[in-house]
Amino acid sequence: MNKFGKSKVCPKCANPIELYVSLKWGAILFIPAVVSALLIKPFFVNVGVSGSLATGLMSALFVLFCMRLKVPKVKVNA
């Protein structure tokens, strides 16, 4: 990956790379994210930290796991 702010390109073919959210992975990961947030919430509360932090962390992981890289199809001029 290139630095933030620059256009991202594939090192092999030099086509631009796009970052997108996969709805399929979002649907697959939704139930485990909710269950794990409910499981770690008591741990955070027992330590003395807000339970909202557990929900926020699981939501952030959920979004990160749903992100995918996609190389758009480039038409070849023949």
Closest CA to 21 of 12, 13, 30: 30
Mean pLDDT of the chain: 75
In this prediction, residue 78 carries a pLDDT of 47
Contact between residue 73 and residue 18 where contact means Cβ atoms under 8 Å apart:
no
Query: What would you report as the CA-atom Rg of the chain, rounded to the nearest whole angstrom?
Result: 18
Does pTM surpass 0.95? no
Report the percentage of the chain scoring pLDDT > 70.
81
Which letter, b or e, does each residue of 10-32 get, where b requires 16 or more Cβ atoms within 10 Å of its Cβ?
Answer: eeeeeeeeeeeeeeeeeeebeee
Arithmetic mean of pLDDT, 1-11: 64
In this prediction, residue 3 carries a pLDDT of 52
